[in-house]
Amino acid sequence: MPYQRYSIAEFIGNLARTIEERTGVRCVDDPDNVPSPLYSVEFLNSKRSDTKTSFVDVYSVWVHAIAEPATPRSNAPVLEMVRALEVALADDMPLPEPFDMFMQTVSGVQSLKTDPSGEGHAVVECEFRISYGFKCK
């Protein structure tokens, strides 16, 4: 039986659930018409990155942290959300069998801005290397 790769839809759903459970802030894949504060997962790409002994896929995402508008304007609320996200992803995201987290990396803030609505908005890049089987000779 051939090895089955981890579904992108399942991955995004699992990541959103993990972020929401560990931060206590709603996490969605489509932020339109969702009130802040919230996190939103934007899938960038997936690529194979097999090792000598394992089949591995790399999933790259941007996690958007969107904070409520602050008066006076301040980046502090959105930066607190970034910190909460970093803490939430310090431990590996749980995966269903037979998948294993090979490596999970929070690469850092890619952008920080204030949206026209006044909401603070940070984009955090993350990468997940997920093994889905061992190579046999």
Q: How many helices (H) and strands (E) in the chain? A: 2, 5
**75-111 per-position pLDDT tens digit:** 999 999 999 999 999 999 999 999 999 999 999 999 9
Q: How buried is 19 (Cβ within 10 angstroms: 0-12 exposed, 13-18 middle, 19+ buried)?
A: buried
Which pTM was predicted?
0.93
Range of the domain at 129: 8-134
Lowest mean pLDDT among 37-41, 50-54, 122-126: 50-54
128-136 average pLDDT score: 91
In a domain, 33, yes or no: yes
Residue 11 has pLDDT above 60, yes or no: yes
Question: What's the CATH number where 45 sits?
Answer: 3.30.2000.30
* Residue 2 counted as domain residue: no
Residue 74 lies in a domain: yes
- Domain count within the chain: 1
Does 1 have pLDDT greater than 60?
no
Residues 6+ apart with CB under 8 A from 132: 3, 4, 5, 6, 55, 56, 57, 98, 99
| Confidence bin at 134 (pLDDT 50/70/90) | confident
